[in-house]
Amino acid sequence: MIDAWSASQVEFVGVTKSYKGRIVLDATNLRVAKGEFVTMIGPSGCGKSTVLKLISGLTTPSSGTVRVGNLSPKEARPTISYIFQDATLLPWRPVRQNVGLGLELDGVSRARRMEKTSSLLQLVGLEQVASAYPRELSGGMKMRVSIARALATTPQLLLMDEPFAALDEMSRDRLNEELLRLRDEQNWTAVFVTHSVAEAVFLSTRIVVLAPNPGRIHADLSVELPFPRTAVLRETPEFEALVGQVSHSLREAIAR
């Protein structure tokens, strides 16, 4: 039996990842505790997507160790869900079957899948389009299906690689708020990657600023804004101040 606390904790010890002679991530130590929402932010080439790939075991470190709970990334996969930059839906499956894909691959029975997908579709507000095909949906709705699919397997750790980058600002803000609402109800730990400072501040309990060439941690900032966070938070001076602080750190990271 996997201990829930340790299973959703990420630990990098001296992790270096080189790819084709280039150091993508250099001797990095990182710890993500249960319940945190940690966002990796940084310019391209700083290895922020690589961090997610390492946690999920889709790539392995050149040196150092990555542990998820007390397990190796591959062993921990059943407790992890990954949300990609594009919605990565299967176009030949209606929405409900897309949401149930993970459960299906895990061998969950049809009846249980039906039950689980129904509750998730309701949670993300997509019950009416359960039998629609992905091509009939807007970008924001597709992303919602993708989120529902990731949450269907009740993950303890959610990895998100710029999931809202392709959306317009309004949909992005709405989905940010929705993501926090889901987190309230479901209690997963999150490692999130983005280019957007405002998004990072709005979502995170902690922001890790990465610097490029070679990729490394430049700053580790905690975000002390209270939960629940709603749209009005974006207009507060505290929020503005944090956005300024993170932007400043980001500029330093690029300049160095």
Q: Which residues sit at the interface with another protein, rule CB under 8 A?
A: 56, 58, 77-78, 80-82, 84-86, 88, 90-93, 101-102, 104-106, 133-135, 153
Residue 96 or 216: which CB sits closer to another protein?
Answer: 96
| 49: Cβ contacts below 8 Å, ≥ 6 apart | 161, 162, 193
Residues forming a β-bridge with 83: 160
Is the Cβ of residue 91 or residue 226 nearer to another protein in the bound state?
91
CA dihedral sign, ordered 73, 74, 75, 78? positive
Task: Please report how close the Cβ of residue 88 comes to another protein at its closest, in angstroms.
Answer: 5
Q: 200, exposed or middle or buried, with CB in 10 Å at 0-12, 13-18, 19+?
A: buried
Edge-to-edge strand ranges of the sheet holding 22-32: 22-32, 10-19, 63-68
Q: What gap in Å lies between CA 11 and CA 29, rounded to an integer?
A: 8
CB of 209 to another protein, least distance (A): 25
Phi-psi region of 14 (alpha: psi -120 to 50; beta: other; left: phi over 0): left
Q: Residue 102 or 214: which CB sits closer to another protein?
A: 102
Residue in 179, 117, 189 with CA at minimum distance from that of residue 159: 189
User: How many CB atoms lie under 10 A from the CB of residue 106?
Assistant: 11
Q: H or E element: which one contains 40? A: strand 37-41
Report the nearest approach of another protein to the CB of residue 133 (Å): 5
Minimum CB distance to another protein, residue 82 (Å): 5
* 135 vs 256, beta carbon nearer another protein: 135
- Using the minimum distance from each CB to another protein, give the nearer residue, 77 or 195: 77
Identity of the residue, 103 or 221, whose beta carbon is nearer to another protein in the bound complex: 103
| Minimum separation from the CB atom of position 106 to another protein (A) | 6
CB of 153: closest distance to another protein in angstroms? 8
